[in-house]
Structure 1
Amino acid sequence: MLIVCIDSCLSLWMYTLLCSALQHWNRVLSSTITPRVLPAPELKQTTRTRDRVVLICQAPEGHLGTNFTLFRDQKPVASVVNQHGTETAQYTVTVGGGGLYCCLYQNNHGVYSGFSQYLTLNTQQHMLPAPTLSLQEDAGGVRRLACTGSAAFPGSVFSLYQVPYQVDGGGPLLLLPTDPTATQRIPVTRHHAVFPLPVQEGPSATWYRCQYTVLLGQDWSFSEHSQPLAVSTPRGPTPPSTTGLSGVDWPLVLGSISAVVMFCCALALVGVIAYRKVQAVAKEKKKREEAQFWTKDWADTSTVPRTPLWNALSTFATQISL
């Protein structure tokens, strides 16, 4: 009986230990093995022209896809392959025919994601009038981009796009813009938006377009894109030349000369005023000295003894006999 009891206890202990080990390895494998299905991406419409729509298939944050596939009515219609992996893929779709669109992506391990939500294209028949895009610069040198839409549709949502392009033998070939660089919803009292000019890198020109959308009823209506606008990086100040006078800052030189001349004139004026002041003081002193001299002379003359008048006239005091 004792032996049978010991064997039963050992078997139960080994069974419990084996189950614990299996549960532990199951948790480890579950945390390290790649899941069979990746999180679904998001499919959205970003840009609309008269006959084309740009769709963006975006994977969730932290996930990269090497192959993105776009489906229309459950049939694959386009793929974007990136061997290094990316979070987004862009598709340009021709408007017309309707249909439901969705997308998925595959990572570098060959694992697929779930399908995105279905998207119905905006099949607006008539585009709103195109806005006007212009470059504004204030007195302080700050540059802005102004997008002016139709006055018949105030309170619209304005979007600014940086237009990608390819350079060929005939010049830049502008492509359809994708995600907006900036978006503004303006008050119902206005029909234009002003965007700060994005930071430009490099000396080459950057192309921009703008567009506005307005909610008419329950549907959003898109305008045509504005004409492309090329904005170049402003040139900095030209460094002074080391030879000749081509690099002389003449306004600074003339200003310095004017300052020196004015200083000399002021100094001369002060000298003249001081000279006249000294002259006046000298004349005043001379007058005082002359007045003191004549006063002293008069005092000395009045103290000299004189002969009595009768002595001077004694000759005439003798009676003359006739």
Structure 2
Amino acid sequence: MSFCGYIFTALIIILQHFCAAGQPSVLEAPTLTQVAVRGSSVELLCQAPQGYGGLIFKLFRLRKLIDTIQHSTEQREARFVLWGKDMDSNNTWYCCQYQNSMYSSYMEPKVSISPPTSPHLVVEPSSGHIMPGQTMSFHCQAPHVPEKELPEAFLLLKRARGTSGTMVAPAKLVSQSHQSHFTVRTMGREDGGEYICLYQLTLPKMGQVNSTASQPVHITVKELPVPTLSISRHGSEVLECVGSPSYPQAFFSLFCVGTLSPQATHQASLTQHSARFPIPTRYEHGTLFQCQYSVQLGNSWAYSKMSTPVTLPCIKGHHLCMPSPAGNTGNTDLALIVGSVSAGVLFLMVVSLLSFAVHRHVKAMAERRRQREQEKFWQHVHSRDHIVDLTLQRVDIGSEDFGRTFRGRASVSEPIYNCPDNLH
């Protein structure tokens, strides 16, 4: 209680004391306490002092009377239940009175947000063991509560370890009902596990809330062993489907892969758990076959999974093996086209690489040829730039007279340039 609440309570008690001073017959004040919280409701206990009691007990919100309990015999206490609607007010101070006693001290209820009580879940079959293809029936029932807390919807969840659960069926909306039913058809072992249910309702000050989960129920899906299909010889080639020895006299069906309707169905004898199917007289090359068996368990049927596919080869001399259909030919042609395109692309890449290498080689050869021609040209030019051979010859000028005239003189020689006729 807050400080203001204490002051307010003290003022009320003082006023009651002065008002009751002239009334010596006024009974002592009771006590008002909160004893329980259930969902959106709060239970208050109005209790008279030891040695006192009364037939009528009253509960007030401030000075406004909101509830009265009348006993057939004098009692010391009375229990009042406050709902969310009653507490939806700014003035949530309450007091009580028995007979014409003084008022109790005021108190403010503490409403804690706690989820509604969990429902109860049962399943049929009650053993929890079921076969694939069978249907489970779940019955979820909420506890009986006042109309103010009636469920609005029920949910069924499958819970794995460490998870809150996933819905396995649409939520069931209800009106003025404490229970709901769910039906779930099992498909395989994955449908086994732990199932729970809960319900939803709308509470004042809290909005829509979920109840706590019910106690879980455990479901075990017992699958039929997978059959085996093989080609065997019993006078002639046949397809033999073998099931589980635990289920004799089962119904065996032969399927062509890709079809929903069986080509043939046989029931095994009372002591057998297999069936033989003759190979069709006409079939396509590479046809795949599967088989399946079913047994009746109680009022429902359980179906095994399909066997591993078996390819039916061409058996010459006994059957007519037809070529593959046009669809398969189309697939083969497509593969051939893709392969041809790939080979063409690879060939073009090789041709491109060879062309590039040849071009580089031709270019290199041309470059070397050009260099040789240049070298030859410059050698020819240098051969023309040789040194001219100038030979000095002695030439005698004049006659003997001239010689005698100049006898005694030194002979004079002049160089004569002997130019060649032509230059090479």
TM, length-normalised to structure 2: 0.24
Q: Which has the higher contact order (CA 8 A, sep 6+)?
A: 1
The structure with the greater share of residues assigned to helix is 1
Give the structure with higher Rg (CA): 2
Q: Which has the higher strand share?
A: 2
TM-score by length of 1: 0.30
